Structure 1
């Protein structure tokens, strides 16, 4: 049975590390972004190294106190707070924010768990490489939390989930032992692979302290377009068509319902709607092409083929980076518009692509019978 954090236990924990490693929990440590889960006052430790994390885990174990690893606090399912039960020790990885090494010739970057995702992206860009994980919270989400939740992101169709971008991890296990699984190998026949147990475990099997991440060649030519589709089934056929034409150069493919635009117009009118008449369904497509290929002709060929087969009705191809950013602002602002609308129930679903259209239709039919609900369907 776990003990609640008391002044006596707090003194024991503080004795394990220098005093500047500890502070009272702030509001950001006790509440997730939507305010649905709220924790209680507690102690926050900010270790500077994996060894210090191990010392904290051992001290907490000796006192039978629970531990919550804390990254950027951007998760929406309450994994970073303890709304009930014994008050835990919060271990924030924010001070472990160093990029240890970059190997551009191997396409590998080793980062500590507290590094913000945007900083990993910048470090990769600095050596003319790409770290493809991208999501709306990339300016505050930290690598450790992204691994712990196996985050998806807008590039999941091309590059996979976070799990697919990791070669190895370093972690502190529940008994305080350090697991050094950092690897730069692409070919590694050894098993068991504890990396895949730790990724996605949300800290329940250990605290991830660092990871070796895969880098990729940066696409030379990037382009964005919006295509109006008749329904989700047509969107799936369009995805198959674009993959046939450009292969794995599809960096993102986002389906968006008209409801998302209506929410934006109601709560975030500064986000520009590029459509003269907003379609019921449209897709945002991002292409990342190698040297010698340009996105505009690729989009024009795709649109022509899709128009002939009646998969699309209209389309807008971004003419410059600014217009592309405007298109992405729609997709990235919809979650905030949802929050501002209020009274929402958000679901992040994962289904085989072939099952999505039928699922969307059936859920819509059932909620229509109930009434009083609006579905804002969007995502990859």
Structure 2
């Protein structure tokens, strides 16, 4: 059982960290490392048992991994094509396709390097494979913890419900994505009200260059048209991105009630990154997500992950340099 000690220790660290602060990306990484250590310990015990079935089990695992990789590539490719058909040809909508081609490119490079075994190809393959494993690990950590974060219960009491804005159709109309956020915001508000609270709902979003009115005003009008009381709505109409949404909403909440608690509402794919930003700007509250169309979710998660990589660019750049240097060492040793 000693082999499982690192996994148990990491899981304990994860539990304590989540209790202290849920809104940390390090929670996702620690959980991923705990699972990785547990799988490593399981494999070690399997190999050290010297059972005659070990080669068959290892072969089955390799075959399963190959099939999973093929299914992943096909899924990403089909999702990318569907995104282009439904959402149009935009760089932000190409992430699924680019991910599919990146996986194929890395696999092809590894195969060619294994066949030709030239020093340069071996070094490049080591670096490319290492980078692929690093980013794949981080992405799996991100997806799994984002799923767990989205399952957290909404606090029993809150003074504000903040709904984050997004673009408007034709400069005036609330799109389905934003309507989903507003519906979820109403549900959270109603639940908090039933528990004896009287929260204020803040619609947060400024006016873009192609919009005829601030997003927050269109959001408020949409809520009032759906029967929500206008006197319970506060508009934050200066923000241009998620961080400003939260900063300017925080100013409104602190001015009204310095010891406030809040619930922030966005779409489910965006909830965890919004929570990371909320922690950075010291918002007192949690973030919840509203449903998103299934075809839109994979591409959106890739976009959110890319944004998180940029937010933690210094540590990621350092890891990339280390991995590339490992590739150089492999080339030198060849």
Q: Shared topology, TM-score over 0.5?
A: no
Shorter-normalised TM-score: what interval?
under 0.3
TM-score, normalised to structure 1, is: 0.24
TM-score, normalised to structure 2, is: 0.27
